[in-house]
Each structure stands twice: as C-alpha cells, then as structure tokens.
Amino acid sequence: MINRRKFIQASALGSMSFAFNKESGCKSKLTPLKGKPLVISTWDAGLRANKAAWEVLKNGGKAIDAVEKGVMVTEAEQNCCVGLGANPDRDGFVTLDACIMDENFNCGSVAFLERIKHPISVARRVMEKTPHVMLVGIGAQQFAVAEGFPLEEQKLSPDAQKSYDNWLKNSTYKPPAINIESKQGHGPFAPYKLDNGEWNHDTIGMVAMDINGNLSGSCTTSGAGFKMRGRIGDSPIIGAGLFVDNEIGACTATGQGEDVIRIAGSHTVVELMRQGFLPEEACKKAIERIVKIKGDKAKDIQVAFLAVNKRGEVGAFAIHKGFSYAIKNGEKEELVKSKSLME
C-alpha cells in the first residue's frame, strides 16, 4: 500500500511541469516559453485569423483575447464552413458550434446556435457570465440576445444556397451513412473529399501562447455540411475539439467530429504530451488510436490534430495528407503541411 509520505511526494511531482521525453529518455521540465508569443490554427483560413490574433499578442495582450479575436475573422468570412455564410444542415438551416478555453481551465461553449454571427464570443460569455460550460440551441440563442448579440436574418449566403440546391438535387433525405461518399456535396460528414482530391473542411481551431507563456484556445464551426438537424460534432466539446492545460500544452482538432469525440481527442493529445511526447508524436498517437478503432473505414475519413506544448513546440498529424496549419510568431508567418498516416 502506498504510504502517506510517498503519496504526497507523488502528488507534488504530478503537479509539476515535468515530462519524460520518450525520444531522449530523459526527464525534461516543460519550461514555459515566456516573451515569445505564438499562434497556430487549422487550415489555410488560419493565416488570416492568425493575423488578427497576432495584433493582440504582439502588443502583450492575453492569449484568451487573441484566440477569440483570431477566429472571429473566419466567422465573419463568407466561406463554406465557419460562421453564418456556411453550408446549412439537411433542413437548410445554418447551425453553429464553438468553444473557448483559457489558462485556468475556464471554458465556455455553444452548440446548435442559429442566427448569431460570432458564436465564439457567445461561448466566451458563457464562460465568463454563467456558472455553466455549455449552452445549446434556443437557450444559447436567448442567452446571446440577452447579452446584446444581434439576431441575424435567417438566410443562406449565395454560395451556401447554391451548394444546398445542388445537394438537394443529388441527395435523398435520410440519416447519414456511416462512411463518407467522396463526391462534393454528398458527404454527410466533413471534411469530405472534393472531386479534385482536396479535403473540404469546416472548422477553425486556434491555440495561442501569450507573452507570459499562458495558453488559450478556441474552436468554431458550422459542423458538417448537410448534417442531420441537431447534429453536434467535436468542435464545441471541451476535451474533444479543444483542450488547454496551461502546465502542459493545448490541442485542437478538425475532421470527422464523431471520431474525435470517441477518443476525447484533444484531451488525449494533451495527456500524451504530459507523458513526455512531443506535440507531433502526441497527435500521431491519437490519430493511430482512431485508425485502429475505425479499421478499414479510416480510409474514408479525415481527422487532424494540432498541438503546442508549454515550451512552444508545435506539431500536427492527420489521417490523410492534405491537412495544413497556419503558424505565426515573431519570426515567421506560414502555412505548414501536416504529416499524415495515409497518402
């Protein structure tokens, strides 16, 4: 039986930022990277979002403000996949999911939110102004309106209307199949493969480290285009689409949300970093876990993780090639191609 003294020693060690580096075989302290802010985010939209986050970070602002401001850019863009301009569900309504988490395990989330332009900011209000973590549907909308967020018109963007009309032509209304069809507009889940072989993608996940070495993250999405009404993916779920542990690191996910939820993906990656794995190794291990579960079906889905540890080391890994992430710090601003298990 573990005696009290040993137990106290063990707990003290556990609470320190030590990690065992599997590669080098030595214990290394995850020294916070202070004075060198950094922001990373998923896909190429991340380049534009990172610029807004950087405006906050370069002036010594907090990571939590940076990750909110950053993804607001994407929410406001008329793209297929994030914000009110995005593709609708099968009934023709755009429903949005988002979450945010700071360096003190404070977190807020909204899901199945309609007619609100910036779900990430509503998620932040949930975090700051309610005793709850998550509000969904009409309740989330009522809260947003009470907080002064304008209720936007219920209208599809011209692009979304076009792809919805297109989808209706080719699709019968039925619950989604387990796997993904690979033709544009048919996939019940996202990201599905476009006819040109690229992945369509529906989310921006962002993680930032501020000048004080504190970490925060945000994640916002319209979910999967033409999803079943009421479907919620990983993106608003703390531990799945996003997780931040300020002692260890942070991670965000994109891809087929159901399979990210199944392994509590972002939390798993952070826990692997706690064990000493570098961010890329940790992301790879989580991807391998999903692929093991899915077996043959893994060839039809895309999932990617993007992580940073407390030392400011960044890494990502995806099931399929085609995932990229944007990185910005004092020295560079670029889009990086992630490694993947499959071509």
Give me the residues that bind ligand ASP (CB under 6 A), please. Answer: 190-191, 201-203, 221, 223-224, 233-235, 254-257
For the chain, counts of helices (H) and of strands (E): 9, 15
Eight-class DSSP state of 227 = P
The one catalytic residue among 42, 95, 203, 221: 203
List beta partners, residue 333. 328
Q: Closest approach of Cβ 220 to ligand ASP, in Å?
A: 10
Query: Which residues, including other chains, have CB under 8 Å from residue 162's CB and lie 6 or more apart?
Result: none
Phi first, then psi: give them for residue 241, nearest 5 degrees.
Answer: -75, -20
DSSP assignments along 249-275, one per residue? EEEEEEE-HHHHHHTTHHHHHHHHHHT
CB closer to ligand ASP out of 203 and 324: 203
- 203: annotated active-site residue: yes
Q: Closest approach of Cβ 343 to ligand ASP, in Å?
A: 20
User: Is residue 235 within 8 Å of residue 189, measured between CB atoms?
Assistant: no
Q: Closest approach of Cβ 316 to ligand ASP, in Å?
A: 13
Q: Closest approach of Cβ 204 to ligand ASP, in Å?
A: 9
How far apart CA 336 and CA 321 sit, in angstroms, is 12
Instruction: State the amino acid at position 23 in one-letter form.
Output: E
CB closer to ligand ASP out of 44 and 128: 44
How far apart CA 172 and CA 139 sit, in angstroms, is 31
CB closer to ligand ASP out of 57 and 116: 116
CB closer to ligand ASP out of 192 and 277: 192
Catalytic residues: 203
